[in-house]
Amino acid sequence: MVHVTRADRFTSFDLAEHPVPHGREEDWRFTPMRRIRHLFDPETYAGEDAALRVDASAEVSVETVGRDDERLGTVLAPGDRTAAVAWNGFTEATIVTIPKAAAVNTPIVITIDEVEGARNQHLMIRAEELASATVIINHTGSAQAVLNQSVEIEAGDAAQLTVVSVQEWDDTTVHASNHRVALGRDTVLRHIVVTLGGDLVRVNAETDFRGPGGQLTMLGLYFVDAGQHLEHRVFVDHSEPNCYSRVTYKGALQGKDAHSVWIGDCLIREAADGTDTYELNRNLVLTEGAKADSVPNLEIENGEIAGAGHASATGRFDDEQLFYLMSRGISEADARRLVVRGFFAELIEQIGVPAVQDHLMAAIEAELERASAAGAQTV
């Protein structure tokens, strides 16, 4: 297998330039091709795009536009076959714009819960110069659905933008999503991905620093049940000087054939003096039969950086933690729940949206209750 660095990785809007993968390619070797292969064929999809609803305050612009809108396709280009199919397949896009210098204090909520059959979807979120806002994208329900989605996120100079994408699909849903993220000069952007449901979910997030001084935080949380495949890929491309990035993803797995994949790529280009970056992935395996694949990659083309590093760890419960809790009269089941809650709490507290934080802790508790009720064999 020929190794291709992220600096050389191919991107294109032309579907013909993205051959159908066989599963041996680096981008696809962890993905169960039998369960995702139908997304590669444009003929799979119904004519209409997947619907969505936007709940936003009056100062936020929400538009439905055609493919010819000049703002579309300006944040990077598709990097794999599913992204190219989604780009070439949508008929209309939704553009959500936070205008220049606007401070939107109420979260903008985008809801996707009525996907029928196989659909494409294109969403663009734009925060203009000096704007600040939080956008929450909720994916729920939709039994037997297939969604191939592109999300363009563009934050202008000195904007402060938080985007939270939550996947709580039914267990039969297949979802491929390509998030393409751009930051301007001195922009502060937080990109958060939470995946708690779906048969197969693959979220690929790629970044584009467009000016110096950008600050990027990427957080991820996933809880994988029996038979689920939840895959998250991150590419942080440091191409501008004096930019900062922190990537932290945490996952828990329970049940037979629960499978998580995390790929964290970071590239520091020759022009990116003063870069400060770190990426971390941690996985907690709760039961027998679950598997976590974790691959951090760091490429450095510049010797004048502030710092760079990466770490990955996958393990079972800490026996010392369990012993400590049980020695104080806490049952083993409750002790295990407390350990998992503590594992995720540090990350959830960084989200900064109380309603989302409370919902996620409740969802994690529900996952643990299901595992306890099912009598899954712990490790």
- What pLDDT digit, counting tens, does each position of 109-118 carry? 999 998 999 9
Angle between helices 332-348 and 319-326 (to 10 degrees): 120
Read off the pLDDT of each residue in 61-69 and give the average, rounded to a whole number. Answer: 97
Residue 279 has pLDDT above 90, yes or no: yes
Query: Greatest CA span in the chain, whole angstroms?
Result: 65
Q: Which of 124, 271, 123, 247 is nearest to 189 (CA)?
A: 247
Residue 292 has pLDDT above 50, yes or no: yes
Stated length of the chain: 379
Q: What are the residues whose beta carbons fall under 8 Å from the beta carbon of 281, sequence distance 6 or more? A: 248, 249, 250, 251, 262, 264, 294, 296, 311, 312, 313
Residue-level pLDDT at 143 = 85
Q: Are strands 215-224 and 244-253 parallel, antiparallel or unpaired?
A: parallel
Q: Please say whether the beta carbons of 52 and 94 come within 8 A.
A: yes
Other Cβ atoms within 10 Å of 13 Cβ, number: 13
Residue-level pLDDT at 289 = 94
Q: How far is CA 174 from the centre of its chain?
A: 15
Residue 30 has pLDDT above 80, yes or no: yes
The pLDDT tens digits for 155-180 are: 999 999 999 999 999 999 999 999 99
Q: How far is CA 182 from the centre of its chain?
A: 15
Read off the pLDDT of each residue in 234-245 and give the average, rounded to a whole number. Answer: 97
The pLDDT tens digits for 83-112 are: 999 999 999 999 999 999 999 999 999 999
Query: Given phi > 0 = left and psi -120 to 50 = alpha, else beta, which region is 338?
Result: alpha
Other Cβ atoms within 10 Å of 296 Cβ, number: 19
Residue 370 has pLDDT above 90, yes or no: no
Residue-level pLDDT at 353 = 86
User: Angle at Cα 196 formed by Cα 94 and Cα 263, nearest 5°?
Assistant: 80
Distance CA 177, CA 57 (A): 26
Average pLDDT, the chain: 92
Read off the pLDDT of each residue in 72-91 and give the average, rounded to a whole number. Answer: 97
Residue-level pLDDT at 11 = 94
Q: Please say whether the beta carbons of 150 and 175 come within 8 A.
A: no
Q: Give the pLDDT band of residue 327 (cuts 50, 70, 90).
A: confident
Q: Please say whether the beta carbons of 121 and 86 come within 8 A.
A: yes
Q: Give the pLDDT band of residue 184 (cuts 50, 70, 90).
A: very high
Read off the pLDDT of each residue in 184-209 and give the average, rounded to a whole number. Answer: 97
Distance CA 352, CA 47 (A): 38
Q: Give the pLDDT band of residue 317 (cuts 50, 70, 90).
A: low
- Report the share of the chain in percent with pLDDT over 70: 93
Distance CA 257, CA 272 (A): 41
Q: Give the pLDDT band of residue 8 (cuts 50, 70, 90).
A: confident
Can you give the pTM of this predicted structure? 0.94
Q: Please say whether the beta carbons of 132 and 158 come within 8 A.
A: no
Residue 336 has pLDDT above 80, yes or no: no
Distance CA 219, CA 182 (A): 16
DSSP assigned state of 103: B
Residue-level pLDDT at 379 = 55
Residue-level pLDDT at 47 = 81
Residue 1 has pLDDT above 50, yes or no: no
Read off the pLDDT of each residue in 116-132 and give the average, rounded to a whole number. Answer: 97
Residue 377 has pLDDT above 60, yes or no: no
What the block records as the tokens of 13 is 């809007």
Residue-level pLDDT at 378 = 59
Read off the pLDDT of each residue in 228-236 and give the average, rounded to a whole number. Answer: 98
Residue 153 has pLDDT above 80, yes or no: yes
Q: Which of 278, 260, 283 is nearest to 202 (CA)?
A: 260
Residue-level pLDDT at 316 = 78
